[in-house]
Amino acid sequence: MSKKTSGDNTKSSSQQDSQQRCPYSGTSSGASSATHSQPGYASTESNTYWNNVLPPLLRQGKGRDNQDVLYNLGPLAQLIGTWVSTPQNGYNVMPLPEATAKNGFILKNFPYYEEITFSAIADKVPNRGGKFQQNSYTLFYEQRVFFSQGPEKDQLVHAENGSWLHLKTGPQLVGPVGISPIPSPPAPEPIPPQNPAGSIVKQVSVPHGNSILATGGFEIIPGRPNIEAVSTLPSKDGKALPADFYIPYGPDVVNNPNVNPNAVLNATLALTPEPVVQTTVIKVDSHHNGSVANIPFETRVINVERFSNTMWLEFLETGEVQMQYLQNITLQFPQPDGSLIQFPHIVANTLRRIV
């Protein structure tokens, strides 16, 4: 798979400047075997790494300068910009169907690095209800993910785009280009507030042929987060499988990332030198008034049944923000007897904003 798209061939002057200069170290990324010192951690990266992650994926929208939009984006406003990880921070547990393998599956687990760019649109998107409306304050995002080790090192492994929405209710204006709000009655007084448990939405478009809608909310907690262990081990209707299904995963212990990818998040968090003052926790789930749609082939052979995403935005004492996330996709593998086995496909990573 090519690591560049047609859009990469025509970069703006700001994109070219971003590619020529490493924002972490102030040194040119074109120098051979350059060492880049990043906020919160230091590492030596290849030129390919910096060439992959530095070009912004999206032009920054005008919403970045609109104070009303920034305020109403709520917790999502902190995402605006371009974020990257180091090759050591991300881990992917990816089960794949394979008819010749024992129990009909293999694991392709690997460390990865990535770039995500978030861009705010310049105004709200109204969902008009007739008496009042729900306003969607929106970030578009694009993401690229690369192998960080092995024979496929620095090759693109995944790409997606989508949007994050912060929903708030408000008055609906009279007419197509209204100036005044619909009076009460018929508008309710006061206007019902947005349910905070459904105020955050993630929409995902994946070129495997999957479209995802997941909803949820957010909370703000003091200090660093408590990132609990998760499990990638497959099951059948919530029940354990024969022991040989679990052999490819290795020992079922909390520090084994093949079983608990959150181990890499906690390891990075433990090495973060700056104290975490406050954390915003954002959670969305397709089982919470959302849905997943798959193309027929995917539905038949490896159906995506559920999607959930937890993001921790960690505000450091230095004023920087560190992003950590866990994404859990439930894959259904059909069995010869017609039953389904649920395989968690889990990824976890830590990123810092560079632009």
Which pLDDT belongs to residue 282?
98
pTM: 0.85
pLDDT band at 305 (very low <50, low <70, confident <90, very high): very high
Residue 310 lies in a domain: yes
Q: Are 50 and 36 in contact (CB under 8 A)?
A: yes
> Where is average pLDDT lowest: 4-8, 154-158, 193-197, 316-320?
4-8
Please give the structure tokens belonging to residue 216: 């949820």
Residue 18 lies in a domain: no
Residue 1 lies in a domain: no
Which pLDDT belongs to residue 75?
98
Mean pLDDT of the chain: 87
The mean pLDDT value for 11-34 works out to 32
Residue 23 lies in a domain: no
Question: What are the tens digits of pLDDT across the range 232-275?
Answer: 999 998 899 999 999 999 999 999 999 999 999 999 999 999 99
- pLDDT more than 70, % of the chain: 85
With a cut of 70, say whether residue 12 has pLDDT above it.
no
Q: What is the spatial distance between Cα 149 and Cα 47, in angstroms, rounded to a whole number? A: 14
pLDDT band at 341 (very low <50, low <70, confident <90, very high): very high
Biggest CA pair distance of the chain = 69
Count of domains observed in the chain: 1
Residue 56 lies in a domain: yes
- pLDDT more than 90, % of the chain: 78
Q: What is the spatial distance between Cα 256 and Cα 310, in angstroms, rounded to a whole number? A: 20
Which pLDDT belongs to residue 65?
80
Q: DSSP string spanning 200-212?
A: EEEEEEETTTEEE
Residue 71 lies in a domain: yes
Which pLDDT belongs to residue 55?
62
Q: Residues 267, 281, 75, 347: what is their CA dihedral angle, to the nearest 10 degrees?
A: 60
Q: What is the spatial distance between Cα 227 and Cα 325, in angstroms, rounded to a whole number? A: 10
With a cut of 70, say whether residue 43 has pLDDT above it.
no
Question: What are the tens digits of pLDDT across the range 46-82?
Answer: 677 777 776 666 666 667 788 999 999 999 999 999 9
What CATH number has the domain bearing residue 329? Answer: 2.40.128.20
Which pLDDT belongs to residue 299?
96
From the list 76, 112, 117, the residue with the least C-alpha distance to 94 is 112
Residue 341 lies in a domain: yes
With a cut of 50, say whether residue 4 has pLDDT above it.
no
Full domain range(s) for residue 264:
31-174+182-353
Which pLDDT belongs to residue 59?
66
Which pLDDT belongs to residue 340?
96
Question: What are the tens digits of pLDDT across the range 82-139?
Answer: 999 998 899 999 999 999 999 999 999 999 999 999 999 989 999 999 999 999 999 9
Residue 24 lies in a domain: no
With a cut of 60, say whether residue 11 has pLDDT above it.
no
Q: What is the spatial distance between Cα 76 and Cα 156, in angstroms, rounded to a whole number? A: 27
